Structure formats: C-alpha cells, structure tokens
A and B are shown apart, each in its own frame.
Chain A
C-alpha cells in the first residue's frame, strides 16, 4: 500500500523551540512538496524538490524555515525558532515525472506553537 508517511502526526512546542517534521515519499516518486494549511490561507505551497534538488522555496519564510532531502526516502522541514503564527497543519506530498501530475498527500503534521 504505497503512501506518503509523515511524522510526527501532532506536535506541541513552546515558542522559540526548533521543530523538525519528516516525510517519507512514495517509493519511486522523485518530486516532494511541502504545503501548509491554515484557516486563513488554505493550502499554501512552501517548497518542493525534484530528484532531491530544491526547485522552489519561494513560499517559505527563509529566516526560520528550511527544507532538505538528505536522501530519496526522507524529506525534512525545520522551523527554528518556532513562533505561534507557525501553528498549522503541514502536509508533505509526492509525485513523479512519468507524465501524470497528481500529487499524493500524507496525513499531515498538526503543529501547535504556544
């Protein structure tokens, strides 16, 4: 059963702490996306990678957010330092460049910064 796996599912942290969210894309997918869902903005694209190379991270606040793909099976999104306004659900999605453009989403990490 191929699916995108995200950990942790929930995270509560204090303002100023570092937060790391992890994503395991579907095996064989070479494109990984990070999205953030908030009530006000809906689903926003933060960053995405193709073949582990960052293609676009213009949606991400650069001063505190960073996204990496240490290897093809792991993508990470870090926030340091975290702020209450970062509270949201963060989704990872993966896709392939074999022609079909659908992206498959993980279940998300619900982040609460207090």
Chain B
C-alpha cells in the first residue's frame, strides 16, 4: 500500500515554462514533506521541504505547495531549465516525538524532462 503516490511517471516541459510535479499521500499523520532530485548514477539530493504548519515554501525557482485537506503537495519549478531534467521524489514522514531525522516514505518518482 503506497502511502506516498506520484501518479505521473514522467513529465515533459519546455525550457522556460513552469514544471508542476504532483504528489498525494494517504497517511494523515505525516507532518513533514520533502522533495528530492536524482540524477542517473547519483544518490537523491535534497531540494526543498515543507512542514504541515505551512502551505507554501519557496526557494528560488522552486516552490512547494501543501494542501492538507486534500493530502496533496506539488512542486513548482519556474522557469524550467535543462539542468532540471532529473527524477523527482516526493517524501514524507511523521516527526518523531524526540525530533530529528526519521525514515522517509518515498513516492516512486517522476522523471522530468526539460525540452529545449
């Protein structure tokens, strides 16, 4: 049973346009969400995160939106650049009572392709 779902295995976007990657989750106990980016033959690298007390977090070209009632989050990249071509993983977890890092539940990823 997938608790974090990324329903689009791939997405193709023209350079300069907005890329929107979507993620849905089923576990209402999740209170922290992250996006990771992965290039071939490399490990995932952290991109941006959002706590459940917020509905938006922005970092340069990257913005993550969280809709708790819909259990949905999205990652917006604008403008999209060729270097953004990668697999993007959505991840979530429930903050342990003691705080700190805990095991992440990942979606299966969306392969973003930026076309020139």
Q: Do A and B come from the same complex?
A: yes
A102 CA to B103 CA, complexed, in Å: 10
Please indicate the chain B residues that have their CB under 8 angstroms from the CB of A104 in the complex. 46
Q: B83 contacts the other chain (Cβ, under 8 Å)?
A: no
A29 CA to B109 CA, complexed, in Å: 26
Nearest opposing residue in chain A for B4, CB measure:
A42
Q: Knowing A43-B106, A93-B43, A107-B43, say if A99 contacts B89 (CB, 8 Å).
A: no
- Verify A42–B42 contact, CB threshold 8 A: no
Please indicate the chain B residues that have their CB under 8 angstroms from the CB of A50 in the complex. 100
- Verify B104–A4 contact, CB threshold 8 A: no
Please give the distance in Å from A10's CB to the nearest CB on chain B.
10
Interface residues contributed by chain A, number (CB under 8 Å): 27
Q: Knowing A91-B44, A101-B95, say if A45 contacts B105 (CB, 8 Å).
A: yes
Q: B116 contacts the other chain (Cβ, under 8 Å)?
A: no
Nearest opposing residue in chain A for B105, CB measure:
A45
Q: Knowing A43-B89, A96-B100, say if A91 contacts B43 (CB, 8 Å).
A: yes
Please indicate the chain B residues that have their CB under 8 angstroms from the CB of A33 in the complex. 101, 103-104
- Verify A41–B101 contact, CB threshold 8 A: no
Q: Knowing A106-B43, A107-B42, say if A101 contacts B100 (CB, 8 Å).
A: yes
Give the contacts of A85-114 with B (CB-CB under 8 A): 91, 93, 95-99, 101-108
Q: Interface on A for B, CB 8 Å cutoff?
A: 4, 31, 33, 35, 41-45, 48, 50, 56, 91, 93, 95-99, 101-108
Known: A31-B100, A43-B44. 12 other contacts (CB 8 A): A4-B43, A41-B108, A42-B109, A43-B104, A48-B103, A56-B103, A101-B49, A101-B93, A103-B101, A105-B44, A107-B42, A107-B43
A sample of 29 inter-chain contacts (CB < 8 A) reads A31-B100, A33-B104, A42-B89, A42-B106, A42-B109, A43-B44, A43-B108, A43-B109, A45-B103, A45-B105, A45-B106, A50-B100, A91-B43, A95-B100, A96-B100, A97-B99, A101-B32, A101-B34, A101-B100, A101-B102, A102-B34, A102-B46, A103-B101, A105-B36, A105-B43, A105-B45, A106-B43, A107-B41, A108-B41
